[in-house]
A and B are shown apart, each in its own frame.
Chain A
């Protein structure tokens, strides 16, 4: 699947450029008998303006992969690049700065600070960086997620779906190189989940945003351009232009394998 035509030709160029890349990435916990290999020499590219879903059974390493690529967790061997930056050599302080400036996050829960208004939550990463948000861009993002009339509300006054839309807006607002979502619809009902996923897909298609999302829900995965399947810390399959059914079928094979082995 290709992106919709865009006036900005640079966006079209970006579709072939790589936003993040993991090479021979391994993550090993413990030693000797308690040694657990969470990621086993994984190599993967996340192209710009592409929506990737990472799927796999529990313990397959899908969350670990995302955490390592997003600079939230350290890895044992291999390399991770965000744009031109190699993560392996960065200290905590530089990693934090990288996350602040280049990466957006959407979590399953506890996405927002309860003391801040919706708008303050959206601009939080820029406040942390001490930057003024781009007003025009901010308006675009807010309009897209449909929060214009909820900006002064606090999270406690918003529904779960609205809270997650604030989280999406926050991730988009600072124009990061890449957005990572960790089960972003895990706590939402299906209608709110569909809304949030729709926004993510729109941001990729209309704004040229790069999105990587970990999920176990085939319906959610179907919004992505590409689905990557992980099992036992390795990439075992990849699917383009997925549908809920095709993803479900693929997942069933994991289950069957799990049962027979």
Chain B
């Protein structure tokens, strides 16, 4: 039987091509993902492990929770502690580590790298083992000297002796580069920048006067990390700091990297899974058609004594061969994709740590197993159907009429699934945000299965609706319509493959579009300020920034949004300090009750907090601030919170007075109103007032909208890219179905040619059939996608008052166009084949 199966595969090479391609693409996606993420994870771990070479034991401050109605004072790592630790038995040396955000400007004044990866640190003494200096440099000394990593220097073209503009929390500093160093720092390996100052300067800039973020201790020769840790534990007070060995840190880092790359991996695998799932439709379709075409042959096998099981097995063996070939090809392609993605990311300036390509045995096994199993699983039903062919069919007439098995059972099952799915989804929309997620997901799966099962039934009315359009194309159109509903199951499977991709694409688009509009509205509607100034990395601004802005020409009002922690009752509450006299000019908050009055002890709170705390206008409460001061505050009004402003708003003067001297300033943003309104000139003036600081962004409302929009666009484009694979597989499915249909109907096509339908007419007939199938899948997919987008939006709306459904009509039209294009493209080759069919061989009787 194996030989028969093998011969069959070889005999139907061309007809199995699309199946092999579709399985191959899915497997390539899976193995490419595995290769890529393994390679990155491996390289990151190696580079981060190197970063811990200089640490045998690390001492880090222990965070303390707020207790007893007080904001806890956080412990500090002092130079005294460092001195003690350095003398611990077995310690060779100790380094006090200071770190913080440091934005570097390139020679054009633009920020180097992404804001989040711009790191700053301290250079310890004259010869810091962490940062070996390249020839020609020397350790930075004093406030105006700096050393930068070699990658950044290369990228921006800086050399020793150049001056560089930088910013830590607001003011622009200009420093001289005294050294360029190499480093194993993981952040630099991942494309970030690192700048180091001498320790005193770093402590001052990062607001760590007299303290360190970490103390890194090296062990003397012959002392193990564990021994050193035990020795240090005796010195360090328990409630101040925790000790960790370098090995533990490296392990922790490795786990962190593994979990973050596995997140990426799992995300990508979901999309690979979708592509594979779509592929199963094609496999099942192909084997169903192959079995139907070979009815006589299989019946003959049965007639000469093959058992049902043997017939099924022969189909499965065929599937095995096809799956194995496709899996091997897919694995090879996947390794290529893995390698290609790395260089692509390198080309896109996202630095990826260098390392060997990792093709683990697990990747190979997964790829092969996935390819073979998926193919065999999808071929199982057709295989069983093959076994049901009675031996007598071998003697039957030339062509057994296509069995139009009743669809009643199928339709009933489909209706049940779809009905249950719709009901579940609708029920879930009435629930609260997070509670509704699980039932909605479950309902969505039910509905998709239901619609898939129902597609044969749906195909008739939907395709009939297209009849008036098709009539324009005369006989070709009429035949195309009838051919497309001729085998409803096949049409359904083909269209469903396309439907799945388009459902996801449309659903995501609807949701993202609605969310974007809502967030933009939330951000833009609540603000009257012309500009919002913030740090590029989301860090706090120096209080200097507000002062500079307030004194800039043409500025009429400013307010910081200054964060502070407090304890009210027994719970932690975050307060936002604003400029009480200007806030009404800068924001447009809806006041539910009371008055919009912020000043002295008068505060406003958002509706959610008010509800949680049981406050209303006139209520008063006592807040305990950091440092222990207490203040009684009165709720003057309750406002509708939004993305930008929420919680308790109090006057920043009141807040600052209560905080102990030397507390870190925590301005998240500064809002600015100008007399001239937002314009390029005004923006220039503000930026100049801030010293053209690379780390600070000055955004008007349009910029904020654009920023939000670009975030969503990026996310959507990423999703489109990932879902494109599912669509490509679906296109292969349409090609496959058409090619098979053309093959099956070659005699009919020959007859049509003989009685006078020209080649163009034949081509048009095939193309229109393809178009009808594709548009059918497209309409179903877009319809389902809109429904899911709406339903998911209803869930979001529960927690987002400004949420409203925005139907992206243009996009939807584009998707329909895409479906149509898919249809036309998929028909190119089958249509050509049909037109080129040799009429005489086609009509020759058997």
User: Which A residues are closer than 8 A to B by beta carbons?
Assistant: 67, 70, 72-73, 92-93, 96-97, 99-101, 104-105, 107-111, 113-116, 124-125, 127-130, 156, 170, 182-183, 186-187
- A115–B486 contact, CB under 8 A? yes
Given known A110-B747, A128-B761, contact A105–B486 (CB-CB < 8 A): no
Q: Is B474 an interface residue (CB 8 A)?
A: yes
Given known A110-B748, A115-B482, contact A129–B843 (CB-CB < 8 A): no
Q: Is B840 an interface residue (CB 8 A)?
A: yes
Segment of B337-345, B377-385, B751-759 engaged in the interface with chain A: B751-759
- B398 surroundings in chain A (CB, below 8 A): 109
- A115–B479 contact, CB under 8 A? yes
Pick from B748, B758, B845: contact of A113, CB under 8 Å: B748
Which applies to chain B's interface (DSSP): helix, strand, loop or mixed? helix
Measured CB to CB, the nearest residue on chain A to B846 is: A109
Q: Which of A97, A108, A124, A170 has the most CB of B within 10 A?
A: A124
A93 and B846 CA atoms in complex are apart in Å by 28
Given A105-B754, A127-B478: 14 more A-B contacts, CB < 8 Å: A70-B754, A92-B759, A96-B758, A104-B755, A105-B751, A110-B751, A110-B845, A114-B401, A114-B748, A116-B482, A125-B755, A127-B474, A128-B757, A182-B845
The 8 closest A-B pairs by CB, nearest first: A100-B756, A115-B482, A108-B845, A110-B747, A96-B758, A127-B475, A99-B756, A109-B845
A251 and B11 CA atoms in complex are apart in Å by 40
Measured CB to CB, the nearest residue on chain B to A70 is: B754
Measured CB to CB, the nearest residue on chain A to B398 is: A109
A23 and B757 CA atoms in complex are apart in Å by 28
Q: Is B303 an interface residue (CB 8 A)?
A: no
Q: How far is the CB of B193 from chain A (nearest CB, A)?
A: 68
Q: How far is the CB of A229 from chain B (nearest CB, A)?
A: 22
Pick from B748, B755, B845: contact of A187, CB under 8 Å: B845
- A128–B756 contact, CB under 8 A? yes
- B761 surroundings in chain A (CB, below 8 A): 128
A114 and B843 CA atoms in complex are apart in Å by 15
Q: Which of A67, A105, A114, A170 has the most CB of B within 10 A?
A: A114
Given known A72-B840, A110-B843, A183-B845, contact A97–B474 (CB-CB < 8 A): no
- A97–B758 contact, CB under 8 A? yes
- A129–B756 contact, CB under 8 A? yes
- A96–B474 contact, CB under 8 A? no
Q: How far is the CB of A159 from chain B (nearest CB, A)?
A: 12
Q: Is B37 an interface residue (CB 8 A)?
A: no
Measured CB to CB, the nearest residue on chain A to B476 is: A128
Q: How far is the CB of A28 from chain B (nearest CB, A)?
A: 16
- A127 surroundings in chain B (CB, below 8 A): 474-475, 478
Measured CB to CB, the nearest residue on chain B to A96 is: B758
A180 and B750 CA atoms in complex are apart in Å by 15
- A104 surroundings in chain B (CB, below 8 A): 755
How many A-B residue contacts, CB cutoff 8 Å?
80
Q: Is B839 an interface residue (CB 8 A)?
A: yes
Q: Is B736 an interface residue (CB 8 A)?
A: no
Pick from A72, A125, A183: contact of B839, CB under 8 Å: A72
- B845–A101 contact, CB under 8 A? no
Q: How far is the CB of B773 from chain A (nearest CB, A)?
A: 15
- A96–B840 contact, CB under 8 A? no
Q: Is B483 an interface residue (CB 8 A)?
A: yes
Pick from B474, B479, B751, B757: contact of A107, CB under 8 Å: B751
- A124–B755 contact, CB under 8 A? yes
Pick from A109, A114, A130: contact of B474, CB under 8 Å: A130
User: In the complex, how many residues of chain B place their beta carbon closer than 8 angstroms to a beta carbon of chain A?
Assistant: 27
Given known A110-B748, A115-B483, contact A96–B753 (CB-CB < 8 A): yes
Pick from B475, B482, B747, B846: contact of A128, CB under 8 Å: B475
Measured CB to CB, the nearest residue on chain B to A71 is: B754
Given known A92-B758, A115-B486, A128-B475, contact A107–B753 (CB-CB < 8 A): no
Q: How far is the CB of B766 from chain A (nearest CB, A)?
A: 14
Q: Which of A105, A116, A128, A156 has the most CB of B within 10 A?
A: A128
A84 and B759 CA atoms in complex are apart in Å by 24
- B756 surroundings in chain A (CB, below 8 A): 96-97, 99-101, 125, 128-129
- B757–A67 contact, CB under 8 A? no
- Can you pick out 12 interface pairs between chain A and chain B where the beta carbons lie within 8 Å of each other? A72-B840, A92-B758, A96-B757, A99-B754, A100-B757, A109-B398, A110-B845, A113-B479, A114-B401, A115-B486, A127-B475, A128-B752
Q: How far is the CB of B467 from chain A (nearest CB, A)?
A: 13
User: Would you list which residues of chain B between 729 and 778 have a CB under 8 Å from chain A?
Assistant: 747-748, 750-759, 761
- B845 surroundings in chain A (CB, below 8 A): 107-110, 182-183, 186-187
- B758 surroundings in chain A (CB, below 8 A): 92-93, 96-97
A247 and B479 CA atoms in complex are apart in Å by 42
- A97 surroundings in chain B (CB, below 8 A): 756, 758
Q: How far is the CB of A237 from chain B (nearest CB, A)?
A: 26
- A105 surroundings in chain B (CB, below 8 A): 751, 754-755
Measured CB to CB, the nearest residue on chain A to B747 is: A110
Measured CB to CB, the nearest residue on chain A to B842 is: A110
A113 and B754 CA atoms in complex are apart in Å by 13
A67 and B841 CA atoms in complex are apart in Å by 11
- B483 surroundings in chain A (CB, below 8 A): 115
- A99–B474 contact, CB under 8 A? no
A182 and B750 CA atoms in complex are apart in Å by 14
Chain B 395-417 against A: per-residue CB contact (8 Å), 1 yes, 0 no? 00010010000000000000000
- A129 surroundings in chain B (CB, below 8 A): 756
A92 and B838 CA atoms in complex are apart in Å by 12
A4 and B840 CA atoms in complex are apart in Å by 36
A254 and B558 CA atoms in complex are apart in Å by 112
Q: How far is the CB of A35 from chain B (nearest CB, A)?
A: 20
- B753–A111 contact, CB under 8 A? no
A92 and B754 CA atoms in complex are apart in Å by 11
A108 and B474 CA atoms in complex are apart in Å by 27
- A73–B757 contact, CB under 8 A? no
A115 and B744 CA atoms in complex are apart in Å by 14
Q: Which of A72, A96, A186 has the most CB of B within 10 A?
A: A96
Pick from B401, B475, B486, B751: contact of A111, CB under 8 Å: B751
- A128–B840 contact, CB under 8 A? no
A169 and B753 CA atoms in complex are apart in Å by 18
- A115 surroundings in chain B (CB, below 8 A): 479, 482-483, 486
Given known A92-B759, A108-B845, A130-B474, contact A72–B748 (CB-CB < 8 A): no
Measured CB to CB, the nearest residue on chain A to B757 is: A128
A73 and B842 CA atoms in complex are apart in Å by 12
Q: How far is the CB of B772 from chain A (nearest CB, A)?
A: 13
- B754 surroundings in chain A (CB, below 8 A): 70, 72, 99, 105, 107
- B840–A67 contact, CB under 8 A? yes
Q: How far is the CB of A158 from chain B (nearest CB, A)?
A: 12
- B753–A156 contact, CB under 8 A? no
Q: How far is the CB of A146 from chain B (nearest CB, A)?
A: 22
A126 and B398 CA atoms in complex are apart in Å by 29
Q: How far is the CB of B629 from chain A (nearest CB, A)?
A: 87
Q: How far is the CB of A106 from chain B (nearest CB, A)?
A: 10
Q: How far is the CB of B401 from chain A (nearest CB, A)?
A: 5
Measured CB to CB, the nearest residue on chain A to B483 is: A115
Measured CB to CB, the nearest residue on chain A to B758 is: A96
- A107 surroundings in chain B (CB, below 8 A): 751, 754, 843, 845
Q: How far is the CB of A208 from chain B (nearest CB, A)?
A: 21
Chain B 814-846 against A: per-residue CB contact (8 Å), 1 yes, 0 no? 000000000000000000000000011001011
- B751 surroundings in chain A (CB, below 8 A): 105, 107, 110-111, 113
A67 and B482 CA atoms in complex are apart in Å by 30
- A101 surroundings in chain B (CB, below 8 A): 756
- B475–A124 contact, CB under 8 A? yes
A110 and B759 CA atoms in complex are apart in Å by 19
- B753 surroundings in chain A (CB, below 8 A): 96
A113 and B845 CA atoms in complex are apart in Å by 16
- B479–A156 contact, CB under 8 A? no
Q: How far is the CB of B406 from chain A (nearest CB, A)?
A: 16
- B750 surroundings in chain A (CB, below 8 A): 110
Pick from B479, B482, B840: contact of A73, CB under 8 Å: B840
